[in-house]
Amino acid sequence: MGTVTISFEMTLDGVFDHMEQWFDPDDPGVQRASDELVFGADAVLLGRESYEFFREYWPAQSDDRGFAAHYNALPKYVASRTLSGPLDWNATLIEGDVAEAVRGLRDRHDSIISHGYGELAAALMDAGLVDAIHVGIHPFMVGDAEIRLRTPHLVGLHLLGVQRYESGVIAARYAPIR
């Protein structure tokens, strides 16, 4: 059975948006962590907002590491109540019960990565389908921006590891306590 890893970036005060103010995609530590996650994945699971944002960005990207080419080639599964298929960018719309669909995807894929922590991630946590959480905590506090980290109930986490980068970013890996 495959694993599902949720990966997201946030500021110290839990803000996910306004990334243009605090996220540095050229940070070598962040790139190494992203490489490890994405090159180790054989599928991507996205909510509608992430899918629409990434679909506009990634197909036009290229890099010396082969990251963009690998990411663009991965099969993507999109959970949405508003999109209709077929989707582009090597994506398939999940129809019906998302938790049941993800259980089926875990049978077909060894390592699934899901970006962001919104409604989809909260639903996956609630259904007990998350094996690991990778969060990049950036040394910024945005203040009164909308804080979007949410979960349907208290979730205990076991620390798997921590990396600290020269930029001050901390990459923490957790597993839900079942």
Q: Is residue 75 part of a domain?
A: yes
Is 174 among the domain residues?
Answer: no
Gap between the Cα atoms of 49 and 56, Å rounded: 11
140 in any annotated domain: yes
The parent domain of residue 63 ranges over: 8-167
Residues 6+ apart with CB under 8 A from 164: 170, 171
DSSP 15: B
Q: pLDDT tens-digit profile of 141-151?
A: 988 766 666 67
* pTM for this model (two decimals): 0.92
Q: pLDDT digit of tens for each residue in the chain (178 aa)?
A: 999 999 999 999 888 877 888 999 889 999 999 999 999 999 999 999 999 999 999 999 998 889 999 999 999 999 999 999 799 999 999 989 999 999 999 999 999 999 988 889 989 999 999 999 999 999 999 887 666 666 777 889 999 999 999 999 999 999 999 8
Q: Is residue 13 part of a domain?
A: yes
Residue 3 included in any domain = no
Q: Is residue 175 part of a domain?
A: no
Cβ neighbors of 159 (< 8 A, separation 6 or more) are 172, 173, 174
In this structure, what CATH number is given to the domain that contains residue 108? 3.40.430.10
Tell me, yes or no, whether 119 lies in a domain.
Answer: yes
Q: Within a domain: residue 176?
A: no
| Consecutive H or E run containing 52 | helix 48-57
Q: What is the pLDDT of residues 80-100, one digit of tens each?
A: 999 997 999 999 999 899 999
Bridge partners (DSSP) listed for residue 161: 173
Domains held by the chain: number: 1
